[in-house]
Structure formats: structure tokens, C-alpha cells
Structure 1
Amino acid sequence: MTIVSTARLVTEAKRAGRAVAALNVITLEHAEAVARAASTAGTEVIMQISENAIRYHDGELEPLAAAVHAVADRATAPIALHLDHVTGPELFDRALHSVFSSIMFDAAALAYADNVAHTARAVRAAHDAGLWLEAELGYVGGKPDAPRSAHLPGVRTDPDEAEEFVRATGVDLLAVAVGSTHAMTERTARLDQARIAELAHRLPVPLVLHGSSGVAPDELRQAVRAGITKVNIGTALNVAMTDAVRSTLATEPELVDPRRYLAPARTAMSEAVHGLLTLLTRNG
């Protein structure tokens, strides 16, 4: 299946009133698990690499990007490639002419005016390169650089401010702060569903939910019905992978061949992704 653009998948999902899953990739096993689940389910997905994942790989964008591109290109389901949570200009500039069809430029930790200014410049550069640009307004909890709660006053995305932000920057996608938190290992987050609905009604661009691993299935279904179009998932894959590795090594502590514990870990991640894709498909 030819690799497709984020713009195509998100536009189709928004038009149909459903959501597309965006899965974080850290290792080759992550990419293979996502591609396997998407191909089995016959469902489109977005594979995304974060700035933190690039940092883990010694700051090298190209090797992981090339591997993810190769895996996606061989899948039988439509897959788009996205670079997530870019905060610095150097990585952003490198990504403009890489394998990605969209980039998230994250200036949400800055003051509003600075967020607007930096994001508007990123939008112009992305559009010149033929890419979509995602940004964030408000604060999605759990970021290590600014560990604020997702439930403090002033953290959630303000609809009036969001309208002005979208108009001033020209972003194609907006990640909104509505009660979710990055890196949650339990699905206990409660979302501000009324705020999601108001933002979806007032904004002309698709909405993105970050920190979705901590959102229970019913909450997630409701959020998609309210207007979320792109659902980011990362920690759920890592939990599945790590649990499988622990289980295998506990049973066979003498193992030293990583293939023996990474294979079941890859299968566990694929099953987790398949469950998410099923949930989102049934929601639609």
C-alpha cells in the first residue's frame, strides 16, 4: 500500500465523524507492531516519531525515519508518517524534507504571544514544503519540562483564544488540552467533553487528543463523538511491550537472545494497537 498523507487520513476521518489513531514509534518493533495491526484490521493509521524518540536515538532522525518509512511502505493498510512534539528549529528544518507529511511544532510551553509567533513561522515553512502543521494550545499534562497538572485553572484550551490562535497561525491541526495527561499507565483520565464539543463547533480545523493512553474506552468514544479527529497513543504500546518482556524473562530468566523476548513484546503491542483500532472503528 502506498504511504498516504496525514492530510488525507485526517480529512477523511473528520468528514466521516470518526477519528484516526496516531501511534508513537520508538523502536523497529513498535513500527512492525503498528503496521501488523493496521494490516490485520484493514484500518488506516498514522505512525509518528517524537522528538524524544529521536533524542533516544542519539539525535539521529534519518535512521529511524527510514526504517519506519520502509515498514509502512510494505503494509497493506494506508499509513501516514508524522513527526511529533518538535520544539527546536534544527530538527524541524531537517524534517521538512524527510519522509513525513506532517509535523507537530510544540510551542505550548511559551507565553501565548510567543506560541503564536513561533507557530505561524513554522506553519509557513511547513506549507512551503507541502506539509501539514499541528500545534498545541493549552497544556496537556505529563510533560517532563513543565510538570503541571492537567486539571489546574488556566491549563485547558480556551475556545476564544483557540479561535484567534487558529486564525493567526493558519495551523492545520490543533492539539487541545481537555483533561488528558501524557505517560499515564492507567486509564483514569476524565475529559472535558463539553469543551471538546465547543472547540469542535467553533474551530475550522481538526482537533487532536494527546495523552490518550490514559483515557478509558467510553471516554474516548465520547470524545470522538464530540469532535476529536486524531487520537495520539504512545504509553499504551510501551506498557504492552514492557509487560510482555517482564513476563517472558520471569518465566525464562536465563534468556539472553533479545529476539526471544522482543517477539512476544511486538505481538503484545500489535494486539494493543488492534484493540484501539477496533474501538475507534466501532465508534465511527
Structure 2
Amino acid sequence: MPLASTGDIVSSAAHGVGAFNVVLLEQLEAVLAGAEQANSPVIVQISENAVAYRGALGPLAAAAREAIAEAAVPAALHLDHATRTDLVEEAVRCGFTSVMYDGSHLPWKENVARTRETARWCHDHGVWVEAELGAIGGKDGAHAPGVRTDPGEAARFVADTGVDALAVAVGSSHQMTRRTAELDLGLIRDLRAAVPVPLVLHGSSGVDDTTLTHAVHAGMRKINMSTHLNTVFTAAARSRITSQPTAVDPRGYLRPARDAMKHEVARMLRLLGEGPV
């Protein structure tokens, strides 16, 4: 299928939309195969960190576009956690249907100004824009433990910047390998009532199934996930390498890793798409 609009996928969703980060070709294949297995739209995400690892955006972006063109379900391509405007512009030139500009590490006024400028430029090029609020310091920014988004500030931020979606801090944190995060569901409902654009949950890897479902029904729409799927992928690869210590062909351990991630992507998409509980 042609690249889908991120905005169309999110706005047409009755419940949650899965947005899954990829670094390797096998992970890209797993996300799309899992979406096909679940018969669900999906958002493929490439982060600024993934670009740094690979040394360039173009090759992985090209692979994503080609893979999405062969997919049997709608899939969008999203740039995640971009702090550099030049990377945002490159992603738009590469055909991404949405970007997340992350100014959460900046003071309020500077975050608003830079996000507004980025949103205007992206909208001029037909690209959907996500942003977030945050505090200075630490990689987690808005998603550091204990940080919470104020509904009034969130509404003002959206009005002042013109973004299409907002990542909010409600109790999750990036890079959690245990699913023990406690979300403030009441705050999610307050944010949903105050903010006129879709809410995005970052750090979803640290949230268990039941809480994720409740978060979606409280008002979250785009659910970002990376570490949890990396954990599933790596566990399958490690198991195969451990059981066959003399094997040298990477296909021997990447194939089961890809399959394990595919099945988990399908499971998560079904979970996020469930009706009210």
C-alpha cells in the first residue's frame, strides 16, 4: 500500500493506535508482518537515536518506504524524538508522513517558539506534527519519573504551537524493561478534556496490558513502544544463540527474533484496538 497519513490513521481510530520503533530491517519486517497478522493499521517509527546508530536516515527510510508499499495494511512512517530541525526537514524530504519535534528539554518559551516554527514548516509540506512538554535535564524530559503534564499548560501549548498531537507525562518513562509504571488515569481524562488534539503515550513499554487498555479508554490514542519489543526480539535471539553456540549464520538467530517480535506486535495491536472494558 502507499504510505498512509499518520493523521488519518490516528483520527480514524476508535481506540488506540500502535506506533513501534525500528532500528533493524528485521524489526521493520516484524512490525509490518505483525500488523498484517492483526489486520490493523500501524505507525512505523524511526528515532533520532536510530539515525545516529545507523549513521544516516536515508537507507532505513528507503527500506521502510519499500516495505510499507508491499504491506497489506495501512502503515505510516513517523520520525520520533527529533531534536534537530535539519533532521525533521530531511525526514519530510524522505517522505515521512509525520514527525515528532522534541523540544521538551528547552524552557517553555523556547520550546513553544521552536515547536511553532517547526509545525508551520511541516504543515506547509503536508506533514503531521507531534510535540511534547517537559522539564530541563535528563533524557526522559517530560517522561522522567514524577513529572506530570498540567492540563491547562498543555491546552495553551497546543494553541500556541498549532501541533497535531501532544505527548504528555502521566507516569510512564522511557527505556523501562519492567512493566511496572503506574499511570495517572484521572490526569489522562483531564488532559483529554482540555486538549483538542490526540494524546500520545511515550514510555509505553513500562506499562502492563491492563493499564495500557485503561489508558486508551481514558483518552490516549497514539501508543509509542520500543523497549518492550526490543526485549522480546533480543530474548528470542539470545535463546537461539545460547542453544546453538557454534552457529555463525545471523539468520539463525534473527529469524526467530523477527518472528517473536511479529507475534508481540500483533498481540499489542489487538490489545490497543479492544473496545471499552
Q: TM-score, normalised by structure 2?
A: 0.96
Match in the other structure for 1:52: 49
Does the 8 Å contact 2:167/2:201 carry over to 1? yes
Tell me how far apart the structure 2 counterparts of residues 134 and 150 of structure 1 sit (CA, whole Å).
21
Amino acid at match of 1:254: T
Q: Is the 8 A contact 2:143 2:202 kept in 1?
A: no
Q: Secondary structure at the match of 2:273?
A: helix
Q: Is the contact between residue 19 and residue 224 of structure 2 (CA under 8 Å) also seen in structure 1?
A: yes
User: 2:214 is paired with a residue of what secondary structure?
Assistant: helix
Distance 1:149 1:61, change over 3 A: closer
Q: Answer whether contact 2:79 2:99 (CA < 8 A) is retained.
A: yes
Match of 1:12 in 2: 12
Instruction: Quickly say closer, same or farther: Cα 1:143–1:234, change in 2 above 3 A.
Output: same
Within 5 A, what are the aligned runs for 1:202-213?
A: 202-213=194-205
Q: 1:249 aligns to what?
A: 241
Correspondence for 1:240 among 200, 209, 232:
232
Describe the shift of the 1:139–1:12 C-alpha distance in structure 2 as closer, same or farther (beyond 3 A): farther
What residue number does 1:21 align with? 18
Q: Does 1:120 align with 2:116?
A: yes
Pairing 1:253-264 to 2, within 5 Å after superposition: 253-264=245-256
Partners of 2:143 and 2:174 within 8 A in 1: no
- For 1:243 and 1:141, the matched residues in 2 are separated by 32
What one-letter code is carried by the residue in structure 2 that aligns with 1:115? Answer: N
Distance apart, 1:96 and its partner CA: 2.1
Match of 2:86 in 1: 90
Counterpart of 1:137 (choices 133, 136, 144) is: 133
2:109 aligned partner, one-letter code: A
Distance in 1 (alpha carbons) for counterparts of 2:142 and 2:8:
34
5+ long unaligned stretches in structure 1: none
Amino acid at match of 2:40: T
Q: Which residue of 2 aligns with 1:2?
A: 2
The aligned counterpart of 1:177 is: 169
Closer, same or farther: CA 88–137 of 1 in aligned 2, 3 Å? same
Structure 1 residue aligned with 2:180: 188
Distance of 1:169 and 1:163 partners within structure 2: 10
Partner of 2:33: 36
| 1:76 paired to 2:68 | no
Q: 1:96 is paired with a residue of what secondary structure?
A: helix
- In the alignment, structure 2 segments of 5+ residues that lack a partner are none
- Give the C-alpha shift of residue 232 in structure 1: 0.3
Identity of aligned residues (%): 50
Report the AA paired with residue 22 of structure 1. A
Question: Would you say how many aligned residue pairs link Structure 1 and Structure 2?
Answer: 276
RMSD of the TM alignment (CA)?
1.7
Moved segments of 4+, more than 6 Å:
none
Deviation digits for residues 12-69 of structure 1 (CA, Å, limit 9, x no counterpart): 01xx2x11100001110011001111111111100010000000001x1110000011
